[in-house]
Amino acid sequence: DGGITQSPKYLFRKEGQNVTLSCEQNLNHDAMYWYRQDPGQGLRLIYYSQIVNDFQKGDIAEGYSVSREKKESFPLTVTSAQKNPTAFYLCASSISYSNQPQHFGDGTRLSIL
Amino acid sequence: RKEVEQDPGPFNVPEGATVAFNCTYSNSASQSFFWYRQDCRKEPKLLMSVYSSGNEDGRFTAQLNRASQYISLLIRDSKLSDSATYLCVVKSGGYNKLIFGAGTRLAVHP
């Protein structure tokens, strides 16, 4: 089945630690996105990538980093610089530069210890 | 002012009821519009796109009013399984950037 796979489902971060969230898609989509969702708020864009080896900051990129070395993979690293990392992280993909909507993975819940 | 605003609800309705949600957006250059459904602690899933002429998918009807900059979602004959949060989503700008509303919560009871 085609889809977007995020792992792990739950993740705990210690003080000063970097953690990496995985996102893989087999939809052959060019564009991939990372969002953060906090209670009572809409999804906010962290980073996006329109094509392999290219990515751009979204609205809340500080404290996060990404890479896009392969079309199907777009991992997100939450660095120790992100002081409030507890949230629900969602990865999405879409056909690039079109009006197609984005489709989401099932998310990773990150908490700090 | 938020770019996309929704009434957070909750809307508590009995099975079989008709319920409508509105959503307003601030950018008049917005190009595409969607409704997503999000179940508790799950990912958003596309419910339907919203077209200028309005569109229907079974019990769901979406309308767009560009002049007043709002979109609506009408659900007829509500089912228990319709209980969820409904996210209004607007595409703005030159790339595929989606702006998400915070969602409207619907609770359908027996």
Residue indicated by tokens 């990372």: A34
pLDDT digits (tens, 9 = 90+) for B12-66: 999 999 999 999 999 888 888 999 999 998 999 999 999 888 999 999 999 999 9
Token output for A97: 């530069």
CA-wise closest residue to A48 among A38, A63, A60, A37: A60
pLDDT digits (tens, 9 = 90+) for A33-52: 999 999 888 899 999 998 99
Chain B residues with CB under 8 Å of A107 CB are: 42-43
Say whether residue A105 is in contact with chain B using an 8 A CB cutoff: yes
Q: How far apart are CA A19 and CA A17, in angstroms?
A: 6
